[in-house]
Structure 1
């Protein structure tokens, strides 16, 4: 059967759901003679012609996408505990933080950047009467991610502007679009990499972050080391936030150690406290940050109104609007295609379960009918055997009566005077009468033995039937468990494939936007350095049965046939 062809439910293979050709035709609208890699090469070539430095291709390495799904792993050789979303915070592709391989290159380009001191296992401020002991987790997580990032760093995409003054600025603004959360401050990204997943019920700070209790204590620890207020993104942490992680005694000691802390109780820090907090943020910058002289324009947090105006004006360009409309439309197609894939996978396994249940019911009916026939055969055999036995008994009675008749005539008949009747002859006649009297009991016993044997055979047959039906139920549960496990594996595989395709699509559109930016700057002889806003992924639609236009239509036909059958 060809992929996507029409056939019986048993002919369908889930491999059709993972066929790249279907995705390329229905989502990317590529002709059959062209694939996604060729599309990436065209965009890369166009970027290189405009002077945009691009490394290798846009495809993220599958080994760099670690999942937290226990039912599916991309490769058994690379075992990382990171989830797909946590990997985005330090991936080798479009991210605002450089990857571990690119850090070395960045450090060579900027040797004057400050280095971040290694963290201590715990900090104790005894002279202030306040101590914050925070255990440092072992960095197996970071080591694992470093191993997995080596393969992907050579394949990642890094955009570098021709102007030396915009090297770091251009990459940072463009790559920051990959962030699903607000852009992290340097202390968050450098010290709290392990706190990427935040409890949704934790309060959100003015800067947009949500810190866990562990992260809050680390911020307090850093603040005590530098005699400054605990802050995030240059804004002091409000006192209610500190109360979540610190005890009352620790808060009192912290207030004595940092007098300006009381000013942040209501979330309204003074100018001096803001200044001190900003200084703290500048002091704890990552070792890969770039000084103002090297980076050229200021950071996104310090964008001037003129830069914002230039960016807004640039986004009114007709070509940009066209690209953005195409991007939004493709994102909708991707989300819709993913929804159809998941629905088709669910329908396939639901139909498989239904087929399995139907096969079990059919097998049970056949087996019960077979056992019923066997029992009927036993009953017929019993009736025939009993009939033959009774006929033999009747014949035996007749033979016994005939023998007695002749023996009595010999011993007691009118012609007995012609011969001598001995005492032995009379004993034989008496014994023959005794045998004749015992014949009914003998015959009844034979009938009972025959019936007992037949009853035993019926019990054996019924036990065999019950055992076979129980075994069929056990086999069904086993097959059902295997089917569920395969469904979870395929579902997890589909999630990873969707994540890979999304990342490739985002990287492809980021490069297209960079190409548009370069063309716009050359055409208008201007420069804007603000990060281009990234459109949000649309919500997953509630897909109904797909039409015949999609290659996944046969899967939806399963649901239609199932409803028609019921």
Structure 2
């Protein structure tokens, strides 16, 4: 019996099912030598030409989130390594002098804020699901303020915060502590003129623009003023010494829309929580919260974020008309048709993959079953020959034994004949010679008669022993043959279990591969829809609010049934013939 599929398929495996080349050519229709990375690069280039600054935020959102998290951890570690006077005072457990607030100490934190802070967010798009004012509040709202704490608890908080920094960062060089330079801050000119926390012990860049009141505000100080304005019960615009901060200064840390919100007519705000953090910090702002502020800055609220559904926010009548007009556009309809066509082609390819994997699984099981039947037939035939040869050898052995018995019987009879003639006084060879018969001769003659009488029983016993031994050998042979047949069945069951386990692993691997490929394809289409949105807004000079409907994946094709004959995986349908 020949194996299903023929000998030329003996080396067939599931590797072609997972090959990227077949997926790229059949599912995506890419020419030879082009892969998804090149498609992403070309699409990203087109997206940048459409005005999308960071297209890989949509193409690779997972990698972007990881890189953003690592960047945030780095900023957090750098900021936590720079402690304020107040944090060092809470950590002191003995005679501890105040560190000097020199430019060397403060320049690191200020430069870190300048270098690590990302550019201001792009203008807020109407498609975002966040309200402008709430977004500004979330950016500058302190997650937890401070209350006085014991030195022991503050030290433990500091140690835990510092230990959370990456181990690869270099250890800070210990600074030489000077005597309390903050003691002389009371003699400085205008040190207490402004009650804002932004002027309390923070380094100011000499190149920062000066206000009419004489203060130079760094970006950090501007953020503090904005936070104080948002927290105030009077809801006033950010100011310093009673003078409103100019718009140009606010726009160094805010976008234009956010600056409009901060400087607009105040609205009723919910009260902030009065809970204070027990960790160390600077001027009421937790040093642990500073990375949080920067982290919020690192995610511009207006870039590529679409509302999950139009029902999640109130869309005005004009916005709804614009959205309906955009959805009726031929270019958008064509784009959705292309997406639907590609989804159907990819889904059909995935169905072919599953069918091919199932066909290979069934073919492998059938091969195992065929191999078992073939092995059993061969073993049965071999066992029959072995038993036949054993019977022949046993017959020959019994024949040889009976032949030796006959020869022995003849020899005993001849010896008895000569002894009887001798004891009777006559000689068969020479009768003329006289001899004397002794008693010993008569005993020998008697013993020879006994031997002749017992000889048939002896021969019969020998035959019985031979047959018993042959029967035992036959049973042993049959048991051995049965064990060999059972081992064939055991090997078949073991191979079947291994094949079932391999099929489960391949199925899980294929599911994960399909999910990853679909995710990458969906991200690519997200960017295409965003490019179309940008192009529409540019052509019509309007903002398109609301979520653009995307195509859905078609229902999964039934795995049973023949493979597509035009597919490269059609080979797996031939193995079942």
1:456/1:172 CA distance change after superposition, 3 Å? farther
What is the CA–CA distance in structure 1 between the aligned matches of 2:128 and 2:7, rounded to whole Å? 51
Answer whether contact 2:129 2:306 (CA < 8 A) is retained.
no
Query: Is the partner of 1:13 in helix, strand or coil?
Result: coil
Give how far 1:333 is off.
1.4
Mapping 1:11-22, distance limit 5 Å: 11-22=11-22
Seen in structure 2, the aligned counterparts of structure 1 residues 377 and 360 have a Cα distance that, compared at 3 Å, is: same
Q: Paired residue for 2:225?
A: none
Task: Give the whole-Å Cα distance in 2 for the aligned partners of 1:356 and 1:9.
Answer: 14
- Name the residue aligned to 2:371: 359
The separation in 1 between residues aligned to 2:378 and 2:405, in whole angstroms, is: 40
Is the contact made by 2:356 and 2:563 (CA closer than 8 Å) also made in structure 1?
no
**2:499 aligned with 1:540, yes or no?**
no
Structure 1 match to 2:29: 29
- Say yes or no: does 1:555 pair with 2:572: yes
CA distance in structure 1 between the partners assigned to 2:530 and 2:402 by the alignment: 103
* Secondary structure of the structure 2 residue equivalent to 1:408: helix
User: Which residue number corresponds to residue 396 of structure 1?
Assistant: 408
TM-score (norm 2): 0.56
Higher relative contact order (Cα pairs below 8 Å, separated by 6+ residues):
2
> Where in structure 2 are the equivalents of 1:411-560 lying within 5 Å?
411-412=423-424, 418-542=434-558, 544-559=561-576
Provide, for residues 352-385 of structure 1, a one-character-per-residue CA deviation record: whole Å limited to 9, x for no partner: 1111122222223223333332222221111111
Q: CA RMSD in A?
A: 3.9
SS in 2 for 1:552: helix
CA contact (8 A) 2:127 2:544 kept: no
Aligned with 1:305 (options 302, 314, 317): 317
Structure 1 gaps, min length 5: 66-90, 108-159, 174-185, 187-278, 562-566
> Any conservation in 2 of the 1:307–1:528 contact (CA below 8 Å)?
yes
CA distance in 2, matches of 1:103, 1:44: 25
Report if aligned partners of 1:24, 1:35 keep a CA contact under 8 Å in 2.
yes
Asked whether the equivalents of residues 371 and 465 of structure 1 are also in contact (C-alpha less than 8 Å), the reply is yes
1:328 correspondence with 2:340:
yes
**Structure 1 position 13, deviation (Å):** 1.9
Q: 1 CA distance for matches of 2:556 and 2:376?
A: 42
Q: Which structure 2 residues correspond to residues 190-201 of structure 1 after superposition, within 5 A?
A: none
Question: How far, CA to CA, are the matches of 1:311 and 1:100 in structure 2?
Answer: 35
Per-residue displacement from partner, 1:363-421 (whole Å, max 9, x unpaired)? 23223333332222221111111111111111111122222222222223766894333
Instruction: State which structure, 1 or 2, has the greater radius of gyration over its C-alpha atoms.
Output: 2
Task: Report if the CA contact (8 A) 1:307-1:529 is conserved.
Answer: yes
Structure 2 stretches lacking a partner, 5+ long: 77-118, 131-137, 139-268, 274-291
- Deviation at 1:475? 2.7
**Deviations, residues 147-167 of structure 1 (Å, cap 9, x unaligned):** xxxxxxxxxxxxx9996131x
The number of equivalent residue pairs is 362
Partner of 2:455: helix, strand, or coil? helix
Aligned equivalents of 1:473, 1:491: Cα separation in 2: 27
- Confirm or deny that 1:164 pairs with 2:134: no
Distance 1:164 1:25 in 2: 40
TM superposition score normalised by structure 1 = 0.57
Secondary structure, aligned partner of 1:520:
helix
